[in-house]
Each structure stands twice: as C-alpha cells, then as structure tokens.
Chains A and B, each alone.
Chain A
Amino acid sequence: MLIMSGMKRWALVLAVVALYILHQDIWNWTDRRLVFGVLPVGLFYHGCFSAAASLLMWALVKFAWPSELEREIEEREATGEVKTN
C-alpha cells in the first residue's frame, strides 16, 4: 500500500513536470498553420494545454488531496478548538 502511494506520488510529480516542460512548445514556434482554418496552431496548442492542466488538477485532487489536514480541522471544530461558522 505504501509502495503504491509512493509510486502514485511520483507519477503525479512526473505529470506536473512533464506538463510544465510541454508548455515550452518549441516545435510550434514558427508554424503558421491554422487549425479548422481559423485558429493558429500555437494558440490551439495552448488552449489544449489549459484543458490538460484542468485534468491534471483533477488527478491531484483525486489522488493527492491532503485529507489528513481536512480531518484534523474537522476534529478540532467538533471539539470546539477552532470556530465553526
């Protein structure tokens, strides 16, 4: 279980680093092709990049959420150590 969570963590770190590197799309630098005849390929690529970033955030929330912090605050709220709104 520990190994799995360690592997999962590294996979997520790798995904973040990979997406950061993919931001630097040198291969599109001078490409003036138009996607769907209207959208410059460099703009289309970075639009897709934004969608990929959202997917990555979903993965982080799903697999790396700091739930121990959440639990701790809820416990403290239950015992009145921190204020409940």
Chain B
Amino acid sequence: MIPAIFVFIYLAAVVYIGVFAFKKSRGSHKAEDYFLANRSLGTFVFLMSLFGTNMTAVAILGSSGHAFTNGIVTYGLMASSSGLVIPLTIFLIGTRVWALGKKYGFITPVQMFRDRWECGHIGTAIFAVQAVLLVPYIIIGIMGGGTTLSAISGGFVPYWLGGAVVAVVVMSYVFFGGMRGTAWVNTFQTVLFLVFGVIALGVIGSGMGGFRASAEALANSDATKWLVTRERFSPYQFFSYTFIPLSAIAFPHILIFCLTAKKMVQFKKTVIFYPLCILLIWLPCVFLGVMANRVSDVPAIRAKQEARRVLATQGKAMEPAQRDELRDKAAGDDVILLLLERYAPLWLAGILGAGIMAAVMASDSQILALSTMFTEDVFAFYGGKRRFGEAVQVQTGRAFVVVLTLLAYLVALRAPETIFEIAIQYAFSGFAAMSPLMIAAIFWRGSTKWGALASTVWVACAVAAVAYFQQTVSAPAPGGPPLVFWSPGGTDILARTPGGTSVYGFTPVVPMVLISALLMIVVSLLTSKPRRETIEKYFSKAGAA
C-alpha cells in the first residue's frame, strides 16, 4: 500500500500543475490559448512534452511485456525504428506544418487539409477516421492506469477503480489547463519516466544478484535461447514494423504539438535528442522484460511462464477460447511492476511506480487533440463559433473532454486484449497509412481532395477488415505455424499468426501504407486540382512552407 501512497501524491502533483496552468492563462477564453498554449512553448518543454506525448503505456508496460513474451526483438521492432523515422518526419514535416500554422493560423491538421485541397465535407471524413483511430490510444492510457494502480497497491485498488482514478486526474488537468497544462504535465512525466528506466535497471539488477548469470543461462538454454535472438521472428515482419513509426506524424496530437513551438529553432534539439530519449527508456525496459524469464522467486511471473509453456506444448490441441485464456495469463504487461514489487524497497517502488504512472498517463494529449479537433473541425467549421462565440467554443472543448474520457473508461473496462496488441493493430497501423495525406499535402502540388478521400476511405476499410479478421479467426498457438486463410495458386497471401495478421509475409501496415499512397497518386492524377492561387500559397517561394 505504501507505494500506492507515493503514486497518489504524484497524481495530486499532476492535478496541481494543471490547475496552476489554468491560473497562468487567467482563464483565457481564446481558443489558441486553450488548445495551443498560445504557440509559446520553449525548447525544453517542447522536447519533453512532444516525446512524452508519444510514449504511452506501451513504452514501459507494453515494451517490457512484449519483451517478456518475444525477447529482444521488441527493441528493434518499435524503439530503434522509431528513433530514426519519428525525428526524421518531425524534421521534414513538423517544421513545415509549424510554419504553415504560424502563417495561416491553423490549429488542426484538418484545417490545413481543407485549405490546401479546397474541401469541406472531405475534411470532416478525415476528422471522423482520425477520431475513431485515436480513441484506442486513449483507452490504452486508462487500461495502463488500472493495471498499474492495481499492481502497485497489491490488489488493494481494483482495476476498475485504478482506471477511474487515472481517468478523473487526466480529465481534470486537461479540462483546466488545456495545452499549457498538458505540456507542463507531460514535461514533468517525461523527466520522471526517463529517470525510471535507469533506476529500475539498477535496483532490479542488484536484487537479482546481477544480470550476467541470468543472461548466460538464457542464451545457453535450448528452451530460452530464442529470447536473446530473433530466430522466431520473420525478417519480413521485422521490416514491416519500420512502417509503424510513420504513424507519429499523422497522429493529430503530434501535429498539434508541432504547432505549439514558439520558434522553429525549438525543433532542432527535439529531433537530435529524440532517439537518445528512446534509448534511455526502451533499452532498460526491454532488457528487464527479457531477464524476467529467469525469475523463479515471483509466483505471478512463474504462473506466466507456466501458462506460456502449456500454450506452446498443448496449445494446438486446445479450443480457441482456452488458448485465448492462457494467452491472457501469459501476457507480461505487469511484469516490470512485479519485479519492482519483489526487488525494490517499498519507498523506492512507490517512486518508481509514479514513474510508470507518468508513462501510462500520456493519453492526455490525445484527449486534448480530439477535443481540439471536434471544436475546430466540426463545431467551428459548421458555424458554432460564428453563432455562439469563442468562449462557448472553449467550453464545448472542455465538455467534450469529459464525455470522451468517460466513454474511453467504459470501453477500457471491457477490452480484453493486451495493451501492446491493441495499440499496434488498430491505432498505429491506421495512422501510418494516413501519413501519405500529410506528405502529399506538403510536398506534392498535384495532390487533390479526391486522392485524400480515396486514401482515407481505404484506411477506414483496411483497419475495419483487419479488426474483423482478427476477431473472427482465432490466433494459432505461439511457436506454431500460421493459420493460412487464403492461398491462391499455393501462395500464402492472408494468414492469421500468433501475434496478428500476415499479408504475403508482411504485417498489414505495409500494404495499408503502400495502397494508401498509391490511391493518393492515382486518384489525384485523375481528378481536378485546386485553384492555382491555392497551390501557389503552398508551393510558390513566397507562400511555401
């Protein structure tokens, strides 16, 4: 219970920061102040908050859980590819979006799309798809909060209550503090969880008597050596994951964050330090997740290892429901919490628990982004701002924050899949497939609204199809062959794998991105362009960003 007290102190500090930000804005009723912190963030807050907003529960709980189940491959799959692709896209696209925002006053990506392609309702369609894809990200935060508080308090705080506490805290500081409060809280949280990884590594390593013996035992045992290699992972699938970080620049909350920088120079340190921040948080978490496979004195971890062993040896003969039940038991999302509970002194476990909560609660900027998009792209666009004024627009944004958080909480109570799977399969892949829209809008003068619509409709259909396929076709046992679903002429095109779906050996994100880009190109070539003045606004030397 003592660690939980530290976490509650941390939560109180976070609410205080949000309220303090509210006072700083003096209750401003200006949309730009509430939604973009008046485009005034400095270098340190910009770097920390932009990084922090992209690191959700996946960064600590998901990464160590995935590494516990899949081994070191986790770091190469998500972390190192993100360390290259995300800062690169921020450098190429984020800076240009910032400049366009400064020049033309954009607050959301859809506002830019509407202006760039001279479209109204197509912008609303893009908003709708972005909103639907963003909700799972918000749910992740609440699920992670429930898991963390429950584990840290030794079960004293049940999952449903933990999720509710996190939902209320996030809702409070987003409601009061808007973008300024969210950015300050994110900065505080990012500092906390960057420190977390290094301390956790030291404490758990010391508790386990060092890692050398465990690492050697893992590498030398036939039963576990695959955890320190990538032999169970196809190079095609590994390659597929380099497409996932394209999602970052298509995420509305990241693009909206790009608009908050005071000066363009603030992007410089952000892109340089971004890969190092990823290294600092992901490497220790992945390493600890792998090492947890050698832990034998924590009953809950032993139960997970046993569930995985049964799944691997008897899984093929089981009913799908039995396999799913065992898969849930073997999931490692709370493995790092269990390690801390076993090896860290109570007070330190509390502080480290607060660090985990910091990562878990990064869903704040997604909630704010959705609220911003709703009020700007729907409420203001369809006449609400003109009719009721800017103060009502900001109040509508606040009301939206409350409704959205409540809905996300209700879904989080029922969602059965692990944090990592939900994030990858729905939100990340969908947004990665929307990145061609952003690239085309900024770099291709020939792109059109119909090309954008074709890509958007494709993304919506593809995400729905993958979700439907994975819900209706049960996953095969881990370590076993994929369940081939469609193989015309003997070529395996569509298969259900233990981790998801395989399309011609790749994960679905690859065809989703490629077809989205192809549709943007082909449909744009076949349809009429925006007016010359609009194109010149974006591509002439005087107007281009």
Chain A interface residues toward B at CB < 8 A:
16, 19-20, 23-26, 28-34, 37-40, 42-43, 46-47, 49-51, 53-54, 56-58, 60-61, 65-66, 69-70, 72-73, 76, 81-83, 85
Contacts and interface: CB of A to CB of B under 8 A. Distances in A.
Query: Which 10 A-B residue pairings sit nearest by Cβ, starting from the closest?
Result: A40-B228, A53-B275, A50-B279, A46-B80, A85-B40, A54-B275, A50-B83, A43-B72, A53-B84, A70-B264
* Residue picked from B96, B235, B275, most chain A C-beta under 10 Å: B275
B225 A16 contact: no
B230 interface: yes
A70 B273 CA distance: 21
B212 A61 contact: no
A50 B80 contact: yes
B239 A24 contact: yes
A23 to B, nearest CB: 6
Given A16-B88, A23-B242, A69-B264, A34 B215 contact: yes
Contacts of B283: 43, 47, 50
Contact of B84 (A23, A65, A82): A23
Q: Interface extent on B, as a size class?
A: 35 or more
B235 A24 contact: yes
B89 to A, nearest CB: 11
Nearest to B210: A38
Contact of A40 (B84, B215, B275, B279): B215
Contact of A60 (B103, B264, B271): B271
A39 B84 contact: no
A48 to B, nearest CB: 9
B267 to A, nearest CB: 8
Contacts of A25: 76
A69 B99 CA distance: 7
Nearest to A65: B268
A2 to B, nearest CB: 17
Contact of A23 (B76, B87, B91): B76
Given A47-B75, A47-B279, A82-B103, A32 B268 contact: no
A29 B276 CA distance: 24
A73 B102 contact: yes
A36 B235 CA distance: 26
A39 B215 contact: yes
B262 A85 contact: yes
A33 B262 CA distance: 47
B80 A60 contact: no
Interface in B54-97: 72-73, 75-76, 79-81, 83-84, 87-88, 91, 95-96
B216 interface: yes
A38 B219 CA distance: 10
Contacts of A20: 84, 242
B154 to A, nearest CB: 31
B38 A85 contact: yes
A46 B264 CA distance: 30
Interface in B256-310: 262-265, 268, 271-276, 278-279, 283, 286-287, 290
A34 B39 CA distance: 47
12 contacts: A25-B76, A31-B229, A37-B216, A40-B290, A43-B283, A46-B80, A49-B84, A50-B79, A51-B276, A66-B264, A73-B99, A85-B39
